[in-house]
């Protein structure tokens, strides 16, 4: 057996030291991508996907189903990459994940700010009151101030006696973290890091210029819609909505009286977000529940079912952007990603509701199996590989052999020991 995938390379037929494995477990599918950073590009050497019915709105509700899905996706990725995967960087979403802005202040110990001062001020900023059943996933610096001079991005080397930090903290209930780790462990994997899903997707689809000028990332998954607002190169707001592409599929299944799997297929093949753009003469074939014969229906009717739900999602997104306080500061508009971003006409509808420029964000700077992973469907898994290569900057929770270590306080350590 070769070394573990993640930080020490991978074994098997392929021996390359920089390979990482990203695992995105969603409400409808599990996706594993194996790759390595090659300069500014991500070289993808393995891809695996499998359907998943073990999650609801980003939270594990069926361990066995989730474990089986992970195993299938990993097996496919191992086959295409020619290696053995033992360790992964995993994504986490869920409507209970929340973000909050915090502030920390420390005295500078020397004549100028050093990295230990930055570490101390970030620790001070993360010391917020949390319920016993929640933990910190990420501490994302927004800006620093030295002796009252604010707007500083890199304070190291500056002279001063007082260092302040403003950060965005992403927190999660402990139970989803526990269940995700357990599912990975039962699938034969150890978890190197857990990264908030839209943060990973942002690594794959956003440019530095967009982050600086101001942009909202909207990742429409199967069970949730994740939102991140960037401005000045930093995360200013985060939110998870309890609606996603699966709700569109449910509406289609109920409206057309079709099996869920067929409704999902119909959505991808014939669906559109704006019914007025679809001819009333266009027809589709719809299988009936419990019957062998199919019915012929208007495609326009299908899109009339889809449009209200998509409009509802973007109305909720609009409210969150307004709540962030940055609705007038998003010069780069909105970037859509996730499987539902491929829905025909979704950009037009999003621009109507959000009243700002919208584009679909596919992965950028990808080599290797780029023809396979160029879709927004793979954005999170690709971003996990990219973000996992810089774990210290991301502030992610580190996990080894089923135990969280490092940044979680003694309260969380005791909880982990109890359950693991």
> What's the pLDDT tens digit per position in 223-253?
899 999 999 999 999 999 999 999 999 999 9
Structure tokens at 199: 């943060």
Of all residues in the chain, the percent with pLDDT exceeding 90 is 64
What mean pLDDT is predicted for residues 55-79?
87
Contact residues for 142 (Cβ-Cβ < 8 A; gap 6+): 101, 166, 167, 168, 232, 234, 235, 236
What mean pLDDT is predicted for residues 211-217?
97
Q: What is the pLDDT of residues 357-381, one digit of tens each?
A: 999 998 887 888 888 888 999 999 9
Output the pLDDT for position 53.
Answer: 80
pLDDT band at 389 (very low <50, low <70, confident <90, very high): low
Output the pLDDT for position 7.
Answer: 35
Q: Is residue 5 scored above 70 in pLDDT?
A: no
What mean pLDDT is predicted for residues 313-336?
96
Contact residues for 403 (Cβ-Cβ < 8 A; gap 6+): 416, 417, 420
Output the pLDDT for position 391.
Answer: 52
């Amino acid at each position: 057996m070769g070394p573990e995938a993640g930080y020490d390379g991978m074994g098997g037929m392929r021996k390359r030291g920089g390979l990482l494995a990203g695992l995105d477990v969603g409400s409808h599918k599990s996706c594993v991508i194996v790759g390595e950073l090659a300069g500014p590009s991500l070289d993808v050497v393995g891809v695996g996907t499998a359907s998943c019915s073990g999650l609801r709105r980003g939270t594990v509700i069926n361990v066995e189903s989730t474990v089986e899905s992970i195993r299938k996706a990993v097996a496919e990725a191992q086959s295409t990459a020619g290696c053995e995967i033992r360790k992964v960087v995993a994504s986490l979403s869920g409507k209970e994940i929340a973000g909050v802005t915090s502030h920390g202040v420390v005295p500078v110990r020397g004549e100028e700010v050093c990295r230990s001062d930055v570490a101390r001020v970030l620790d001070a900023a993360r010391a917020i009151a949390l319920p016993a059943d929640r933990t910190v996933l990420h501490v994302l610096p927004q800006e620093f101030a030295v002796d009252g001079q604010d707007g500083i991005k890199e304070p190291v080397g500056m002279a001063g006696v007082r260092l302040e930090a403003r950060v965005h903290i992403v927190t999660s209930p402990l139970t989803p973290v526990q269940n995700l780790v357990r599912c990975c462990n039962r699938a034969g994997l150890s978890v190197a890091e857990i990264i908030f899903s839209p943060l990973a997707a942002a690594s794959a689809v956003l440019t530095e210029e967009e982050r600086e000028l101001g942009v909202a990332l909207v990742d429409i998954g199967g069970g949730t819609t994740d939102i991140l607002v960037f401005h000045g190169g930093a995360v200013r707001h985060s939110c998870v909505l309890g609606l996603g592409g699966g709700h569109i599929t449910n509406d289609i299944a109920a409206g057309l009286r079709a099996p869920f799997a067929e409704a999902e297929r119909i959505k991808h093949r014939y669906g559109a977000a704006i019914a007025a753009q679809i001819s009333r003469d266009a027809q589709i074939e719809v299988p009936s529940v419990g019957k062998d014969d199919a019915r012929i229906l208007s495609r326009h009717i299908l899109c009339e079912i889809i449009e209200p739900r998509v409009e509802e999602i973007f109305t909720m997104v609009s409210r969150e952007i307004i709540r962030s306080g940055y609705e007038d500061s998003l010069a780069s508009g909105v970037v859509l990603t996730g499987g539902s971003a491929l829905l025909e006409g979704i950009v037009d509808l999003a621009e109507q509701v959000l009243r700002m420029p919208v584009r679909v964000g596919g992965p950028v700077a990808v080599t290797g199996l780029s023809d396979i992973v160029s879709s927004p469907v793979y954005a999170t898994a690709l971003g996990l590989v990219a973000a996992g290569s810089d774990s210290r900057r991301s502030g992610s929770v580190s996990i080894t052999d089923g135990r969280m270590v490092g940044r979680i306080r003694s309260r969380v350590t005791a909880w982990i020991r109890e359950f693991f």
